[in-house]
């Protein structure tokens, strides 16, 4: 059986949520956080970057990393009906979904969220970085707010809950978990982004999501 190596972080929870929702036949190697395991040789042999999550399927000679690549892989492999993602037979939504997965991975998670978390974890204060990140988040949440007005479905792409909602939902949860009460907190969030606030509640209400978000060991 394939194994998913993942811990309780914004990126780790994305594939954990999808595996849970699909009840996919994948073993979970859960990291209690923080962990030194991801820098150990046995793990670096699976994921040379020393990050998580990683999905290994020896029967297919696959060692995959990058959380949104894992979302695409798990959806393609274990969700043949496309319950939680748009398949290529709906090309407009399929490519919109793809755009937004990269957008979440690069702009939201790596460029803004990870930068902020690194600074907070290190107690490093730098006003230039802080302003850059807060401005960066502002642009992204405005884009999400307008997108939700456009879809008017309560979800980010089309009219159903997809892996794009999982990616941004897990990211928004991590932002709140790590940045609330720090200089990176976004003030008046619910008033500024009411559709995002509502969407996030929709996300939390999906059966199984909160259980994964709350898992610690």
Residues binding its own copies (CB under 8 A): 48-51, 60-62, 64-66, 68-69, 72-73, 91-92, 95-96, 98-99, 101-103, 105-107, 109-111, 114-115, 118-119, 122, 124, 126, 128-129, 132, 139-140, 142-143, 146-147
d(CA 210, CA 115): 25
Closest to its own copies by CB, 119 vs 195, is 119
Smaller CB distance to its own copies: residue 149 or 205?
Answer: 149
Strands (DSSP E) found in the chain: 3-6, 27-30, 54-57, 62-65
Give the shortest CB-214-to-its own copies separation in angstroms: 26
CB of 24 to its own copies, least distance (A): 16
Judged by beta carbon, residue 61 or residue 216, the one nearer its own copies is 61
How far lies 25's CA from each of 10, 92, 125, in Å?
22, 30, 44
| CB-nearer residue toward its own copies: 17 or 68 | 68
Q: Which is nearer to its own copies, 7 or 53 (CB)?
A: 53
Question: Strands 54-57 and 3-6: what pairing?
Answer: antiparallel
Report the residue number, 105 or 213, with the smaller CB distance to its own copies: 105
Find the shortest distance in angstroms from Cβ 203 to its own copies: 21
Instruction: List residues bridging with 64 in a β-sheet.
Output: 55
Helix, strand or coil, per DSSP, at residue 108 = helix
Q: DSSP secondary-structure letter at 203?
A: H
Least distance from C-beta 90 to its own copies, angstroms?
11
Work out the angle between the directed axes of helices 163-179 and 91-103 (0-180°, nearest 10): 20
State the minimum distance, in angstroms, from the CB of residue 31 to its own copies. Answer: 19
Q: How far is the CB of 25 from its own copies (least distance, A)?
A: 17
Q: CB of 164 within 8 A of CB of 97?
A: yes
Exposure class string for 143-161: b at 16+ Cβ within 10 A, else e: ebbebbeebeebbbbbebb
The whole-angstrom separation of Cα 13 and Cα 199 is 18
């Amino acid at each position: 059986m394939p194994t998913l190596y993942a811990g309780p972080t914004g990126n780790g929870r994305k594939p954990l949520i999808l595996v849970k929702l699909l009840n996919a036949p994948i073993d979970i190697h859960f990291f209690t956080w923080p962990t030194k395991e991801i820098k150990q040789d046995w793990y670096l042999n699976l994921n040379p970057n020393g990050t998580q999550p990683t999905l290994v399927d020896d029967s297919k000679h696959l060692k995959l990393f990058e959380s949104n690549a894992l979302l695409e892989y798990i959806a393609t492999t274990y969700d043949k009906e496309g319950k939680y993602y748009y398949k290529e037979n709906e090309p407009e939504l399929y490519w919109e979904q793809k755009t937004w997965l990269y957008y979440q991975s690069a702009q939201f998670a790596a460029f803004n969220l990870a930068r902020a978390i690194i600074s907070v974890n290190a107690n490093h204060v730098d006003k230039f970085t802080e302003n850059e990140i807060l401005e960066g988040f502002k642009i992204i949440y405005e884009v999400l707010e307008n997108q939700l007005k456009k879809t008017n479905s309560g979800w980010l792409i089309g009219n159903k809950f997809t892996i794009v909602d999982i990616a941004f939902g897990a990211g928004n949860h991590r932002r709140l978990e790590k940045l609330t009460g720090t200089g990176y907190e976004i003030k008046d969030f619910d008033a500024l982004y009411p559709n995002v606030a509502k969407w996030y509640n929709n996300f939390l209400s999906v059966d199984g999501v909160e259980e994964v978000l709350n898992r610690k060991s």
